Amino acid sequence: MWAIAVIGVFLLAAIGAPLFVVILAAAMTGFFYADIPLTVITIEIYRLVDTPMLLALPLFTFSGYILSESALSSRLVRLTQVFLGWMPGGLAVVAFVTCAFFTAFTGASGVTIVAVGALLFPALVQAGYPERFSLGLVTTSGSLGLLLAPSLPLILYGVIVQQMDLENPFTLQDLFIAGVLPALLMIVLLTIYSVWTTRSIPLIRRQFTRQEAKQAVWDMKWELPLPVIVLGGIYTGFFAVSEAAAVTTMYVLIVEVGILREIRLAKLSGIIVDAMVMVGGILLILGVSLAFTNYLIDAEIPQQIFDLIRIYISNKFTFLVLLNIALLFLGAILDIFSALVIMVPLIVPIAIGFGIDPVHLGIIFLANMQIGYFTPPIGMNLFIASYRFKRSISELYRSTIPFMLVLLVALIVITYVPEVSLMFLDR
């Protein structure tokens, strides 16, 4: 019977049943055979109410949706173009910086490729960059800001780990600080690669003019304070993360709807519903996995996996290699939020057993997921880019692979040099 139930759960997943249903089925099977009344499932879902900082998720999602509906993308591209476009490889740097910033604020849902990538791709080709290179660059950049505050996956990782009652807890602020250098490392390596591969191609570089710079800054005057409010507020500890989310959302609403009027009031309810459908999907999965994780911990599954792994792997480094491979694979087949919600409660106790800091683990986890977004054959951003730029999927495989290799180098550094993440933290 046991085996049939387990096979049933896997079949459900395979035929594309909603993920929360699959997890519910797994939790029900587990509790049923452990003779625990199924009411526990609702009790666990209701624990969403006790999860700290969760408020940040719907609010930041909402502000992200508004920002991606506004004309911020074009203003942002223009501003970075004026200030960074004159450098060698300037336009590539523009792409990396703009995408990182945009993704951090809007979440890596593929919207960066559609909103920013669609502006940058023609600009890159026009400036003389080869088409395949530009395509790969834009697709790779689509998930680049994942490690920067206030990206939703980073917040979700913090939220999940915080309710696990670790011995060595951390704050969301710690995570936000830890993500900065790894993100910079990725941008720097990608820039070096871009400048090096295009060294023999005559590129058109922009001239820096004061007039243009003034105009670009002036156009962005309402959105420029945003990073200061959010990042300044969070990093100095003036705002809790959920408060920063509320202030950001209010500010963005006032600016985009009230002052710039790029989003009509009539459209706002539609945007809210769209954003909350995404939030609902994620939080429901979070809620049911609270129940499932409770079962797993009750049955001491993480401990058993740990003991099992321990038989074959004794050192941290081998474990990290396997972790990276597993996560890269996972990042390609699961969307990032489900991967976080399902895997983090399992992996965190095991990783801590191997002496890995939970903050460092979070950065490793998300760096893998970021690459998973465009890992062939099924990384989500490959399909979005293929659809948006009307290129065949195999062309996208070929164009992104060099960038993927560069980011794998960054991933290795991030994984094996914990200081890159933890340098500024007192851990």
Binding site for other proteins (CB under 8 A): 12-22, 24-25, 28, 37-39, 41-43, 45-46, 48-50, 54-55, 57-59, 62, 239, 242-243, 245-247, 249-250, 253, 269, 272-273, 276-285, 287, 333-335, 337-338, 378
Q: How far apart are CA 421 and CA 416, in angstroms?
A: 10
Q: How far apart are CA 101 and CA 38, in angstroms?
A: 44
Q: How far is the CB of 335 from other proteins (least distance, A)?
A: 6
Hey, how many other C-beta atoms are within 10 angstroms of the C-beta on 7?
10
Q: How far is the CB of 241 from other proteins (least distance, A)?
A: 12
Of the pair 277, 405, the CB lying nearest other proteins is at 277
The sign one gets for the Cα dihedral 368, 372, 374, 380 is negative
Q: How far is the CB of 229 from other proteins (least distance, A)?
A: 12
Of the pair 27, 356, the CB lying nearest other proteins is at 27
Q: How far is the CB of 22 from other proteins (least distance, A)?
A: 8
Hey, how many other C-beta atoms are within 10 angstroms of the C-beta on 123?
17
Of the pair 211, 236, the CB lying nearest other proteins is at 236
Of the pair 239, 295, the CB lying nearest other proteins is at 239
Q: How far apart are CA 328 and CA 330, in angstroms?
A: 5
Q: How far apart are CA 52 and CA 292, in angstroms?
A: 19
Q: How far is the CB of 106 from other proteins (least distance, A)?
A: 17
The most distant pair of C-alpha atoms in the chain lies apart, rounded to whole Å, by: 75
Of the pair 241, 361, the CB lying nearest other proteins is at 241
Of the pair 54, 410, the CB lying nearest other proteins is at 54
- Look at phi and psi of residue 165 and say left if phi exceeds 0, alpha if psi is from -120 to 50, else beta: left
Q: How far is the CB of 342 from other proteins (least distance, A)?
A: 10
Q: Is 236 exposed, middle or buried (0-12, 13-18, 19+ CB in 10 A)?
A: exposed
